[in-house]
Chains A and B, each alone.
Chain A
Amino acid sequence: MRDSTVYFAVGIRQGLVVDVRILIIEDDKDVASFIVGGLQQAGYVVDCANSGKDGLFLATTESYDMLIVDRMLPEVDGLTIIRTIRASNIHVPVLILSALDEVADRVDGLKAGSDDYLVKPFAFVELQARVEALLRRPSAPSDGELTTLEVADLRMDLLRRSVSRSGQGIDLQPREFLLLEYLMRHAGQVVTRTMLLEAVWGYHFDPQTNVIDVHMSRLRGKIDKGYTRQLLHTVRGAGYRIEELGK
């Protein structure tokens, strides 16, 4: 499958992420510089605050496309920041970083108004994939009324729960349908195995073996087999992406 494997860094097209502003609120300078460096390299415009107070000030006075907030911060903690900006009607996507990975903490974070939750320490690809997913998340109501998803000649009808490629119907099992739907909603983005396990199965743990890969190869067999243009790509060291390459 060499031809369907591409490197993540190659997949980032500068044009897409220009002028996207991200605020990072993180008191650990090492972690902050690591995230800032990585995101800047990926073409984002990044601001960084080292305390909850500064972060809250920036988040409420400046305009950002996304916030990355550490949960435990001096002065004002992460959850308070999120509650405060949500109370001020700021609907920017928020990703929480936390050293705690209990379900209760996750639930607390999401209840406070965050959109995603990442446990420290994390691989940068995981953060980047989630950042991209959140930036693309349909926020306007009109996006939420999508009834069809399309990637090249692959078409998914969300109302009739049917999938076709080049007009030819593809028979998918319910879970395969959910898997493909998630990938197509994030077309062009890297989706990690952890993201798939969370979004499609609702599990928050790492399976020991490559169960996700097996599901993906089945899905690939159904949608790509017999077509010259491969749509479902493995991104080495990161996850998967559905995309029409070389368009």
Chain B
Amino acid sequence: MIHAPMNARLLMRTSAFRLALVYAALFVVSALVLFAILYWATIGSVGRQIDATIESEILGLAEQYERRGVTGLVDVLAERVRRSPDGGAIYLFADSNLSPLAGNLRRWPTLATDSTGQIEFDTTHNGAGVSRFRANILSVGRDYRLLVGRDLRELTELKVVFERAAVWGIAVVLILAIAGGALMSASAQRRIAIINRTARQIMDGELNERIPITGSRDEYHDLAIMINDMLSKIEILLDNVRHVGDSVAHDLKTPLTRLRNRLESLSHTELSMSSELEKCVAESDQLLATFNALLRIARIESGAYRTAFSTLNVMELVDGVCELYRATADEKRVTLSIVSKPEVLIYGDRDLLTQAFANLLDNAVKYTPYGGSISIDINELGGQIELAVSDSGGGVPAVDHLRIQQRFVRLDTARSEPGNGLGLSLVKAVVDQHKGELRTENLDPGLRMTMILPRDTGDTRSPASGL
């Protein structure tokens, strides 16, 4: 059902939700790119600054060596170490055996014994625990090596903060994107559901139903207006067709009635002609009955009877009609039995439902052979009441099950029986007006016609309109 409470599975199915997922992926990728740029601009830049500082310092120191030799460099280094007591900067000057000559690093880092250029290594320094350093190594003179480095603790801390921020940021983006998508698709789904519901009501025969127009002037609003305009157009066309049909029936009925009355008065006076005239009266009565049935079906389909709906006892209705037809069934030695008798209520029009049930029973009696049987079965299934009439007649070929509900359709096997081919059309129209269903099944032998009608739950009634 379209208007059932929306569940997660249904939500996943909607195109809006799929779109939201795509957007969520896009958001996450964008956020990643954004964080990458930020990383490069902040942490990357700090790193590059450190590199530049190390580079210029080591070149400066190399220049000192060039000018003042080993002892000069040792002096300068001692001075630098003294100026950097916190140990943020490290220096080491070593000979060809990598034995320290000066600086604040106790020994040459093991991983960089014969390399020059940039290295990163962990070491303890100044009793501040293990921390990471970045250093440049330069060969000075023929046998000496110089190492200048900087503490990376702050950079590392910054990196941790940044990574945490990135993880949380992306998580939040993901959650927001999915939640937003779900909300968006739910709202789209809600508005589509309104359109679906209206379409369903119109298919159920409430042709004057329209999609409610909301205040927001978006594409759904435009769609609703367009569909409503289309529905109005269709309704006008349908009304025209129905009106033509109805007025043909109505306009023919009146002169036919007069004709019948004139024939009848003739048949009383002209005694010699009376037998033929009586046949004419009978023929015109048959025609009138057909017109009446046609007009009644049209009236039912227009919803004119909805105002007279009330709560009815199904069993009373069935008993009454069975009582009316029992005599006719007895004539044919047909047994008529009511199988189950539950106490169920229905919300509908008493006259219409009585006539619909009478038509089903009428058919059953007509098409059940001498000595056959008819059973009436009332069942309550969920919110529905099934009112079934089963006969032991010849049945109806499965291909014709829907066709026999159409107007004027009479199967060849039925031609010999009286009738106008409108009985089941009326049943169908009545059942449709009660939002029910008419089902045809073959039995072996016979036919079962079932009216499936919604049970009276007390909240199904719509406020009576008009009159």
Q: Which residues of A contact B (CB under 8 A)?
A: 7-10, 30, 34, 38, 41, 101-104, 108, 121-125, 175, 201-211, 214-215, 218, 236-237
How many Cβ-Cβ contacts under 8 Å join chain A to chain B?
94
Q: Which of A10, A202, A205 has the most CB of B within 10 A?
A: A205
Given contacts A214-B328, A237-B281, A237-B285, 9 further A-B contacts (CB under 8 A): A41-B265, A102-B305, A122-B257, A123-B288, A207-B324, A208-B419, A209-B365, A215-B324, A218-B327
| Given A103-B351, A214-B327, A237-B264: A201 and B320 interface contact (C-beta under 8 Å) | yes
Chain A interface: which of B62-70, B335-343, B353-361? Answer: B353-361
Decide: B327 and A215 in contact? CB cutoff 8 A.
Answer: yes
| Given A121-B253, A175-B323, A205-B355: A211 and B308 interface contact (C-beta under 8 Å) | no
Q: Which residues does chain B contribute within 8 Å of A124, judged by CB atoms? A: 261, 264-265
Instruction: Give Cα A125–Cα B285 distance, bound, in whole angstroms.
Output: 12
Q: Which residues does chain A contribute within 8 Å of B264, judged by CB atoms? A: 123-125, 237
Between A and B, 30 residue pairs with Cβ closer than 8 Å are A9-B268, A41-B265, A102-B307, A102-B308, A103-B305, A121-B253, A121-B254, A122-B257, A123-B261, A123-B264, A123-B288, A124-B261, A124-B264, A201-B324, A202-B320, A203-B355, A205-B351, A205-B354, A206-B292, A207-B358, A208-B362, A208-B419, A208-B423, A209-B365, A209-B418, A210-B328, A211-B325, A211-B362, A237-B278, A237-B281
Q: Which residues does chain A contribute within 8 Å of B358, judged by CB atoms? A: 203, 205, 207-208
Decide: B257 and A209 in contact? CB cutoff 8 A.
Answer: no
Decide: B308 and A104 in contact? CB cutoff 8 A.
Answer: yes
Instruction: Give Cα A123–Cα B281 distance, bound, in whole angstroms.
Output: 11
Q: Which residues does chain A contribute within 8 Å of B257, judged by CB atoms? A: 121-123
The closest CB in chain A to the CB of B354 belongs to A203
Decide: A204 and B308 in contact? CB cutoff 8 A.
Answer: no
Instruction: Give Cα A10–Cα B324 distance, bound, in whole angstroms.
Output: 31
Q: Is B83 an interface residue (CB 8 A)?
A: no
Contact partner of B327 (CB less than 8 A), chosen from A10, A38, A211, is A211
Give chain B interface residues in 257-290, CB to chain A under 8 Å.
Answer: 257-258, 260-261, 264-265, 267-268, 278, 281-282, 285, 288-289
The closest CB in chain A to the CB of B328 belongs to A214
Decide: B307 and A104 in contact? CB cutoff 8 A.
Answer: yes
| Given A102-B299, A201-B324, A203-B351: A209 and B260 interface contact (C-beta under 8 Å) | no
The closest CB in chain A to the CB of B417 belongs to A209
Q: Which residues does chain A contribute within 8 Å of B260, judged by CB atoms? A: 123
Q: Which residues does chain B contribute within 8 Å of A103, judged by CB atoms? A: 305, 308, 349-351
Instruction: Give Cα A63–Cα B350 distance, bound, in whole angstroms.
Output: 39
Q: Is B236 an interface residue (CB 8 A)?
A: no
Q: Which residues does chain B contribute within 8 Å of A30, judged by CB atoms? A: 258
Closest 9 CB pairs of A and B: A121-B257, A9-B268, A205-B355, A214-B327, A103-B308, A214-B328, A124-B261, A208-B362, A104-B308
Q: Which residues does chain B contribute within 8 Å of A101, judged by CB atoms? A: 296, 299
Cβ of A38 to closest chain B Cβ, rounded Å: 8
Cβ of A238 to closest chain B Cβ, rounded Å: 9
Q: Is B304 an interface residue (CB 8 A)?
A: yes
The closest CB in chain B to the CB of A216 belongs to B327
Instruction: Give Cα A30–Cα B358 distance, bound, in whole angstroms.
Output: 36
Cβ of B271 to closest chain A Cβ, rounded Å: 9
Instruction: Give Cα A215–Cα B331 distance, bound, in whole angstroms.
Output: 10
Contact partner of B324 (CB less than 8 A), chosen from A122, A211, A236, is A211
The closest CB in chain B to the CB of A218 belongs to B327
Cβ of A183 to closest chain B Cβ, rounded Å: 16
Contact partner of A7 (CB less than 8 A), chosen from B258, B268, B288, is B268
Q: Which residues does chain A contribute within 8 Å of B467, judged by CB atoms? A: 104, 108
The closest CB in chain A to the CB of B366 belongs to A209
Instruction: Give Cα A202–Cα B321 distance, bound, in whole angstroms.
Output: 11
Cβ of A23 to closest chain B Cβ, rounded Å: 21
Decide: B289 and A102 in contact? CB cutoff 8 A.
Answer: no
Q: Which residues does chain A contribute within 8 Å of B328, judged by CB atoms? A: 209-211, 214
Instruction: Give Cα A235–Cα B38 distance, bound, in whole angstroms.
Output: 105
The closest CB in chain A to the CB of B331 belongs to A214
Cβ of B403 to closest chain A Cβ, rounded Å: 19
Cβ of A42 to closest chain B Cβ, rounded Å: 11
Instruction: Give Cα A33–Cα B78 distance, bound, in whole angstroms.
Output: 139
Give chain B interface residues in 410-467, CB to chain A under 8 Å.
Answer: 418-420, 423, 467
The closest CB in chain B to the CB of A200 belongs to B324
Q: Which residues does chain B contribute within 8 Å of A204, judged by CB atoms? A: 351
The closest CB in chain B to the CB of A209 belongs to B362
Cβ of B351 to closest chain A Cβ, rounded Å: 5
Decide: A206 and B308 in contact? CB cutoff 8 A.
Answer: no
Cβ of B147 to closest chain A Cβ, rounded Å: 107
Q: Which residues does chain B contribute within 8 Å of A202, judged by CB atoms? A: 320
Instruction: Give Cα A102–Cα B302 distance, bound, in whole angstroms.
Output: 12
Give chain B interface residues in 41-83, CB to chain A under 8 Å.
Answer: none
Instruction: Give Cα A179–Cα B258 distance, bound, in whole angstroms.
Output: 30
Instruction: Give Cα A41–Cα B265 distance, bound, in whole angstroms.
Output: 10
Cβ of B16 to closest chain A Cβ, rounded Å: 46
Cβ of A156 to closest chain B Cβ, rounded Å: 20
Q: Which residues does chain B contribute within 8 Å of A125, judged by CB atoms? A: 264
Q: Which of A209, A210, A236 has the most CB of B within 10 A?
A: A209
Instruction: Give Cα A34–Cα B257 distance, bound, in whole angstroms.
Output: 11
Instruction: Give Cα A125–Cα B324 distance, bound, in whole angstroms.
Output: 24
Instruction: Give Cα A100–Cα B320 distance, bound, in whole angstroms.
Output: 25
Cβ of B116 to closest chain A Cβ, rounded Å: 107
Q: Which residues does chain B contribute within 8 Å of A205, judged by CB atoms? A: 296, 351, 354-355, 358
Instruction: Give Cα A75–Cα B259 distance, bound, in whole angstroms.
Output: 31
Give chain B interface residues in 301-347, CB to chain A under 8 Å.
Answer: 304-305, 307-308, 320, 323-325, 327-328, 331
